[in-house]
Amino acid sequence: MSSRSNAIKEENPYENAIAQLASVMQVIDVPLDYYEMLKVPKREIVVYLHLKRSDGTVSSFMGYRVQHNNARGPYKGGLRYSSLVDINEVRALAMLMTWKTALVDIPFGGAKGGINVDPSSTSGDELEVLTRKFVDEITYNIGPEIDVPAPDVGTNPQVMAWIMNEYSRLKGYNVPAVVTGKPVELGGSLGRLEATGRGVSIIAREAAKAVLKKDIKDVTVAVQGFGNVGSYTVKFLTEMGAKVVAVSDVYGGKLFKNGIDSFERLYKDYSATKSMKRLPYGEDISNEELLTMDVDMLIPAAIENQINENNANKISAEVIVEAANAPTTPMADKILEKNGIKVLPDILVNSGGVIVSYFEWVQNLEREQWTLEEVNTKLEQKLTKAFYDILQFSESKNVPYRVGALALAVERVVNAMKLLGWR
């Protein structure tokens, strides 16, 4: 049976998620019975999947789908394939999706799923069989009006295509709206691939205007991470005219004192070298040096816990725009707040993906295909409104943006629960 082997998480992510929920109870008035309902998911599905390998051996895997809250609409959340997947991680991420969809005001609730399988040690044919077995087990728990999965760590548009096909086969007709993040040829939305990075750049532009009181063209930016989110963030920010002076990947980074003059050249050269440090131009810097650079705006777009109690006092940026998931630790948050550094939280900043997933769902239900211009215009409208909703709410409550964002999301979910008469 696949397991987490020697990888042991230091903290329980579900306990952390509950602690976050508890932290906003001092900001908004939530009746105790609703708080108790929000602490736990509405439904947890755990299945055992048995897979006959190509060599004749049989392996067993655990699959999960946790549905946290659907007061505002069908459950929505990613499906991840990783040997580190466990029930507490999925519970925490399902709760996070409830807040994220409420914050950007799309008609979904929160869910998450996963299979504790290592995709790198499993063939494509085996992953397809495993995916279809998983769908067979949860068929009655997902659907366009029930629960709509999407890609996450270890999954991709191909996996979504398998889910769509297996679900449609069981239903007897084509159901593209059962998942989002599909290939465009099968009903996926234009603009989905770059949606998260585009969203980060939109939030950065509005933060420059509303928080820094500057035009984005007058703002210096450092971006940690050059994967899908980081690279698209750099692309769109340079197109907006921002001065991106530093970019890094897992191996280190480069300093461009005068800013990146051509993203196309940078991306082409990076694709050839596969490493920022191997680029023949720019000055070498470490990831730690990038984080502490004297810039207007810092965008962590890599992995979690990059800004922590060891380096928080060294952060010089006036604003941090969290493109990655949980790049700032709770202890660092307190230090940054004390030092007057504004943090725009991940729950807002990287929500572009789920917003365009919502657009994909709508297109599938209506059997339409929007143009890229339509998708991008609607994405900008949604994110801009969410940004100013958070600023106004946080300022009215006199709380940091992270607390304000979570409190606003929880308040919206609770209001829906009350209107529905949940007991």
pLDDT tens, position by position, 166-206: 999 999 999 999 999 999 999 999 999 999 999 999 999 99
Q: Domains for the chain: give ranges and CATH numbers.
A: 42-176 (3.40.50.10860), 195-340 (3.40.50.720)
Arithmetic mean of pLDDT, 322-343: 92
Q: How far is CA 224 from CA 206, 282, 419, in A?
A: 20, 15, 43
Q: Are strands 58-69 and 43-52 parallel, antiparallel or unpaired?
A: antiparallel
Cα separation values, 31 from 21, 96, 260, 405, 415, Å: 13, 20, 51, 19, 11
DSSP element (H, E) containing 147 = strand 147-151
Verify whether residue 112 is a known catalytic residue: yes
Closest CA to 352 of 235, 205, 193, 213: 193
Structure tokens at 75: 């459950």
CB atoms under 10 Å from CB of 19, counted, come to: 11
In the predicted structure, residue 8 carries a pLDDT above the cut 60: no
Phi, psi of 179 (to 5 degrees): -140, 160
**pTM greater than 0.85:** yes
Q: What is the pLDDT of residues 293-313, one digit of tens each?
A: 999 999 999 988 899 999 999
Q: Which of 112, 133, 235, 243 is flagged as catalytic? A: 112
The span from the CA of 101 to the CA of 358, in Å, is 9
- Region 269-295: mean pLDDT is 92
- In the predicted model, what is the mean pLDDT of the chain? 94
CB 80 within 8 A of CB 153: yes
Polymer length in residues for the chain: 423
Residue 41 has pLDDT above 60, yes or no: yes
Which residues face 252 on adjacent strands?
249
